[in-house]
Amino acid sequence: MPGIEVVTGFWRKLFGRRGDLTPAEAWLRQRRDASPEAVIRQHFAAMAAHDLDWLLATMAPERARLYNDPRTLDKRRQTVMDARVLSVDQVDGPVPFPSFAGRYQSRLALKVEFELDLVEPEQRRDPTLREGRGWSYYILVSEGTGKPWLVADWGQ
């Protein structure tokens, strides 16, 4: 997400934070060279850690804005207790891409198999999630060589 490095650095300076990087800061430093599979694994790790900054750092800005919209209250992140990626495979068949994906030089569809542990039913905020094994298509986009892969969308 353009500009997040500046914002993160500003907050660190403002509050005098020193020492280890947050997971989001560490990811921002390495994401440019990360494979699409590594992006997916970071996305799921951020979800399991309930780290919104880290999660947003794995997403295309267009998706991050939707995900972080106050109306959504980041329901998915608050519903997932743990998330594990079981497999990541490239998809060759037709998968619909979000409308904004055309603005990116590179687009990639992946089939991701995962396992989710969810919070207790009365605490769940995202009724679309199911506990246990599942799969979803993940669409990743990149602005080109030397630019990071970013999660643009997911679904079946």
| CATH number reported for the structural domain that contains residue 113 in this entry | 3.10.450.50
pLDDT of residue 127: 77
Number of domains in the chain: 1
pLDDT of residue 78: 77
Query: CB of 107 within 8 A of CB of 151?
Result: no
pLDDT of residue 130: 86
Note the pTM of the prediction, 2 decimals. 0.81
Contacts 24+ apart (CB under 8 A), 85-90: 85/40, 85/41, 85/44, 85/112, 85/113, 85/114, 86/113, 86/114, 86/115, 86/133, 87/111, 87/112, 87/113, 88/36, 88/37, 88/40, 88/41, 88/112, 88/113
Chunked into runs of 10 residues, the chain (156 residues) has average pLDDT values of 53 60 92 94 91 89 77 68 94 89 94 92 79 94 94 91
Structural domain harbouring 18: 4-155
